[in-house]
Chain A
Amino acid sequence: MLWETLLRVLVSGIANGAIYASVAVGFSIIYRSGKVFNIAQGEMLMLATFMAMTFFGMGMNHWVALALTATAMGLLGLGVERFVLRPLVGQSEMALFMATLGLLLVLNGLGVIMFGTEPRLFPDVLGTERWLVGTVSIKQSAVLGTALVAGSVAGLAWFFRSTRTGLFMTAVAESHQIARSLGVNVQRSIGLSWAIAGVVATISAAAFMSGRSVSPEIASIAFVALPVVLLSGLESIGGVMLGGIIVGVGQSMAAAWLDPYTEGGASLLFPFALMMLILLFRPQGLFGWKRVERI
């Protein structure tokens, strides 16, 4: 009985953790390059989701539609960097952060205007099978989604460590000045990171939304992903997977064992309580680089 609950907790925790990780990796990629904390990451996920659904609705093949969405989201990322962040180069990190708050409002508003607030069903792009392990049923879409996220995160980690372009971007993450002195085009790296974050948002949408009912409110997933990115450390790419699993499983445990006594409050509050604890005791996270702004 306990084992069954534990298995169920693990399964749902890991699946949820994967989606948090995929959103968190978007935060990290953008933060690394330009020291911008893009609070509008969830809105990018929401736009990707609804853009893909619009293409599905036009009768497109699912994979073609997703590829098209990824392209459009990449361009959106480039546009945001070019027209919102680049004019603010040299301003404080806080000014950049506030600009992304403005971006959050804009993207959220546009999403609601274009797609409405009614929940809609996202097609089963990742299949509808269910497998029974003992008495616990596991959804094919969850397994594939988790694998997709894990694969993408691993791919990104490899990209930033082993390709020339990726290394240029990692250098930009360390120091704009050093990168510039070595002939790295810093602005292009930052633009590229926004484009990648747009593509990653599309991957998150494909991995997580399959077969779900979605509305623009899904953007708030990003806030649950905040403790993940803080836990893994803002610069770490690979670390988000572990961070995601910790938050996801922790949340599932809270849901299984505490929610019955708290009317569902424990699992909702868990990520934010965890975030407060991380901020207080280890703001640089587990794998983060540095010297967090501390007093």
Chain B
Amino acid sequence: MQPIVMQQGPPPASSAAPIAPVLSVTNVEVRYQGSILVLKNVSLTVGEGEVVALLGSNGAGKTTTLKSISSLIQSEEGRVTEGQIHFLGAHIHNQDPVSTVRRGLVQVMEGRRVLEHMSVEQNLIVASAPIKANRQRLRQALDEIYGVFPILAEFRDRQSGYLSGGQQQMLVIGRALMAKPRLLLLDEPSLGLSPLLVHTIFKSIARINRELGTSILLVEQNAKVALGVAHRGYVLENGRIVMEGTRHELLNNEDLKEFYLGISATGQRKSFKDIKQYRRRRRWLG
């Protein structure tokens, strides 16, 4: 697979710590079914206008983190059992997910979850649920989305189940924008897409952040593309935050380079043994 290089340069927001966090997650512990402990003492923040990457390998707890922020975790019998989550000053953990969406926090779930039997435009209209929309304002909101993703306008009457993977990813991101969110949670938007498509999607993500001013918490396994658009990032492992830093700090961190970016100091791919070494070290750090 060819590495993807982001062309649009470093993002505009400063790499300094955020002034007023939109989202702050403080010492959160999450359990499924009252017993399975998945997140341990997780803390992170997303500042106004920031793109923050949450990196980690499969099963680290990234999706769980997003779902506990959006409260969607409840439908899987999950709960925040310790700690707090604040969004724009309000407690939002263990709430009705619909009220969280109304506050302006929308999650785009993993796996391009389009409403398969509905058309592209119908998908978008459904996402207008949290806003009070008359006909005219709905039209306006739709046109805005079509402005960000022109391809959606072209296929507006097509049944969304028949779109290609990339188009579906654009649809679910565009759909999330219908509610005009202040914070967008994106769960692995690059999953299963070709490098070219990943590039396009991430360009749109950067544009959304830049032009609409939407703050974004971006979950990725693909650290390289994520750090192409993110201002800051966290690394999650076994349900703990094991590393955090600005885009540059992370891009230059040796461990991250070795493990997530797949390049070692000598320019060779890591062997399994080295990774184990790394893991052991991380355990002490975390």
Contacts and interface: CB of A to CB of B under 8 A. Distances in A.
A220 interface: no
Interface in B109-145: 109, 113, 115-118, 122, 125-130, 133, 138
B109 A167 contact: no
Interface string A178-196: 1111111110000000000
B97 A168 contact: no
B102 interface: yes
Contacts, number: 73
A174 B107 CA distance: 18
A181 B115 contact: no
Contacts of B176: 182
B129 A168 contact: yes
Interface residues of B, number: 28
A126 to B, nearest CB: 36
A164 B72 contact: no
B14 to A, nearest CB: 32
Contacts of B109: 177-178, 181
A195 B230 CA distance: 48
B42 interface: no
Interface string A131-145: 000000000000000
B115 A174 contact: yes
A257 interface: no
Interface in A216-246: 235
Contact of B129 (A161, A174, A184, A289): A184
Contacts of A182: 101, 106, 126-127, 129-130, 175-176, 178-179
Nearest to A163: B125
Contact of A164 (B101, B117, B133): B133
Nearest to A235: B117
Nearest to A178: B113
A161 B157 CA distance: 12
A183 B179 contact: yes
> A-side binding surface: helix, strand, loop or mixed?
helix
Name the interface size band of chain A.
Answer: 20 to 34
Nearest to B126: A171
Interface string A142-175: 0000000000000000000100100110110011
Interface string B155-175: 000000000000000000001
B98 A167 contact: no
Interface in B56-105: 70, 72, 75, 97-98, 101-102
Given A174-B117, A174-B118, A179 B75 contact: no
B238 to A, nearest CB: 26
A82 interface: no
A168 B126 contact: yes
A184 B138 CA distance: 16
Given A161-B122, A181-B109, A184-B126, 9 more contacts: A164-B133, A171-B126, A174-B115, A180-B97, A182-B126, A182-B130, A183-B101, A183-B130, A185-B129
6 contacts: A167-B125, A170-B117, A171-B115, A171-B126, A182-B130, A182-B175
9 A-B pairs with least C-beta separation: A183-B101, A183-B130, A171-B126, A183-B129, A182-B127, A184-B129, A174-B115, A178-B113, A180-B97
